[in-house]
Structure 1
Amino acid sequence: MNDSIRPTFRFAPSPNGLLHLGHARSALINDAMARASGGRLLLRIEDIDAARCRPEYEAAILEDLAWLGLAWEAPVRRQSEHMADYRAALERLAGMGLVYASFESRGAIRRAVAERPGWPRDPDEAPLFPFSRATMSEEERARRQAAGEPYALRLDMKRAAALAGPLDWREIGWPESGETTVAADPLAWGDVVIARKEMLTSYHLAVVVDDALQGVTHVVRGADLRAATSVHRLLQSLLGLPAPFYTHHGLLLDGEGRKLSKSIGSQSLRALREGGMTPDEVRRLADVCPGGAGSRSG
């Protein structure tokens, strides 16, 4: 079968720590869905954050995935090697008049929000950006950028959403079959950051560019990223990129009801392996059975 028309899935971890059981679940679901559809599985290393990402963590990711019995197509795409792709996308958005530089510090943003009780929050519970493009002239922004001041590049969400018009995405269930259409709501995110002076792209921008360039047809990831799909569909529309199918699977939670995370020190796959656990036991704990079928959504 021609690769260009085969279902194409990807697992895209960041090498800023060791993989845990939640990562295993996502990788295994991608693998199960790729096998069931006769598709391809790609591996992408999302290492745009040079301050936190390390080569030893990437090596550990490859080791853990191989131990689980996963195989992926070469070559592995590393985001740090493709900054020109993200720069081109950013320049296209800027050429459409949809990008502006903001110079407000995190402290200034917190103070502004504190002065406005009930200020709206985005789907991740972070306060929306409390300033607007109109607070500063474009000439002043350009002057401050040229002077080397720190800045974030934000998407003018109202203008972008108006240009794109109504959007939706196709959501495929797992393990239950079936497809639904979900209305996108990018305005719920406010003027999101799509790049910074010290980081030439954001997760939002890089992921849609990568998926398009890699020919990804099915994005399978945790339910915590479901709301972000609204931003991704907006960027795909603005940049003329194809819209993949999406599956947002259930998350594994710890004993306190928190999703497993590197930031809270969730037990790593390496620790489980060194403790004597087998790949099949990890599959069962991750709620993805050894044969590649899932028992429930987690």
Structure 2
Amino acid sequence: MSTPPYTGRLAPSPTGLLHLGHARTFFIAHQRARAANGTLYLRDEDLDPQRSRPNFSIAMREDLLWLGLTWDAELRQSDRLPLYLAALHQLLAAGLAYPCSCSRRDLALSAHAPHEDPAAESDDELLYNNRCRPTGPVANLSGPAADLSNARRPRRTYRFRTPDHTPISFTDLHAGPQTFTTSTDFGDFLIWRKPLTSNPSDIGLPSYQLACVVDDALTHITEVVRGRDLLKSTARQILLQRALGYSTPTYFHCDLMRDSDGLRLAKRHDALALRTLRANGLSPADILAMF
């Protein structure tokens, strides 16, 4: 079988200004794509309605171009809800997802990529206690799937049902061999959040995990370059890929950049935002020298 052409992506979320850590990860992704003579997408991960802002979306494009990073095509996740909804239908029809009525705090953790939580050093979605999980073996949830097919659209939260006590292994191109075990490292995880409003047109939103898997598959991503704090997310996403019949790309998880106190950089680090550094007179060459 021939190897598919390299396709990668830059996947910023417009929930704040890009900082040095983002810049290094996106620079590595850009360099790997260009070295492979591949295609590179810019994916605007704008699914967090409470934190995403148009001005941040504009700023991230300007900052990436200022740094010298280019891409070949763009997509915006908020334009792709029907695709995520179709994946949810498929999981429900297979009995691999179920409705969940757990707390809003749990749901908040899936509204954005886990590494966007400024307090977290790594993916930190809570280990689910299975309170809403159906008893017995996985069954075809034909009722909820049928409900989703009609005009009402989903107005509930859904979780993916993971196989119990199952190791998920992969070899990361930078971090090496990895294994995460279901029921220990993570449990049933969120794939769809119920609407925050009573507006009938509000169908809710996919979690980071589901949206990422669908987009990577439908844009034929062959290699995912992102931060090391998302290693556990990769195990979850491999389960979703298998459930949806998608191929699994290769992964390259970059080391995290840290501040002077040893904490992982996050969007709270305004002083290390590319906008701030640029305003203080630094050039793209100065930024790249910090990597």
TM-score under structure 1 length normalisation: 0.77
Aligned residues: 257
CA contact (8 A) 2:102 2:132 kept: no
Deviates more, 1:259-268 or 1:217-226: 259-268
- The yes-or-no answer on 1:96 pairing with 2:94 is yes
Amino acid at match of 2:191: I
CA contact (8 A) 2:123 2:230 kept: no
Secondary structure in structure 2 of the residue aligned to 1:262: coil
| Cα distance in 1 between the residues matched to 2:143 and 2:84 | 25
Percent of aligned pairs with the same amino acid: 40
Distance 1:230 1:38, change over 3 A: same
Partners of 2:248 and 2:23 in 1: how far apart?
25
The runs of 5 or more residues in structure 1 that have no matched partner are: 110-122, 175-179, 288-298
Which of 209, 213, 229 is the equivalent residue of 1:208?
Answer: 213
Task: State the alpha-carbon separation in 2 of the partners of residues 153 and 33 from structure 1.
Answer: 36
Confirm or deny that 1:133 pairs with 2:130: no
Unaligned runs of 5+ in 2: 108-121, 136-140, 196-203
Amino acid at match of 1:57: F
Q: Are the counterparts in 1 of residues 92 and 144 from structure 2 also a CA contact under 8 Å? A: no
Amino acid in structure 1 at the alignment position of 2:10: F
Contact kept? 2:92, 2:142, Cα under 8 Å: no
1:229 maps to 234
Secondary structure of the corresponding residue to residue 256 of structure 1: coil
Matches within 5 A, 1:56-95: 56-74=55-73, 76-95=74-93
2:55 corresponds to which letter in structure 1?
E
Contact kept? 1:128, 1:190, Cα under 8 Å: yes
How is 1:163-178 mapped onto 2 (pairs within 5 angstroms)? 167-173=168-174
C-alpha spacing 1:108/1:27, structure 2 compared with 1 (3 Å): closer
Q: Choose the corresponding residue for 2:258, options 243, 253, 258.
A: 253
- Between Structure 1 and Structure 2, the one with more helix by share is 1
Letter in 2 for 1:185: T
1:150 Cα offset (Å): 7.4
Cα displacement (A) at 1:183: 3.5
**Closer, same or farther: CA 205–257 of 1 in aligned 2, 3 Å:** same
User: Residues 278-297 of structure 1: CA distance to partner in whole angstroms, max 9, x if unpaired?
Assistant: 00110111x1xxxxxxxxxx
Aligned equivalents of 1:134 and 1:153: distance in 2? Answer: 12
Deviations along 1:197-216, one digit per CA (max 9) or x if unpaired, are 12320000000110111111
Cα 1:11–1:40 shift into 2, 3 Å: same
Task: State the Cα distance separating 1:60 from its structure 2 match.
Answer: 0.2
* C-alpha displacement of 1:57: 0.7
Q: For the structure 1 residues 128 and 266, does the alpha-carbon distance in structure 2 shift closer, same or farther, using more than 3 Å as the test?
A: farther
Quick check: 1:14–1:45 contact (8 Å CA) kept in 2? yes
> What aligned pairs does 1:268-287 form with structure 2 within 5 A after superposition?
268-285=273-290, 287=291
Mapped contact 1:184–1:233 kept (Cα < 8 A) = no
Q: 1:193 — aligned with what?
A: 190
Give the distance between the partners of 2:217 and 2:153, measured in 1 at CA.
33
- What root-mean-square deviation, in Å, do the aligned CA atoms of Structure 1 and Structure 2 show? 3.1
Partners of 1:107 and 1:271 in 2: CA distance: 32
In structure 2, the CA distance between the partners of 1:108 and 1:214, relative to structure 1 (3 Å rule), is: closer
Q: After superposition, what is the alpha-carbon deviation per residue over 1:208-266, rounded to whole angstroms, capped at 9, x for unaligned?
A: 11011111100010000011110000000010111100001100001121111014546
Deviations 1:165-201 (CA, angstroms, capped at 9, x unpaired): 7643342128xxxxx5534534421111111112320
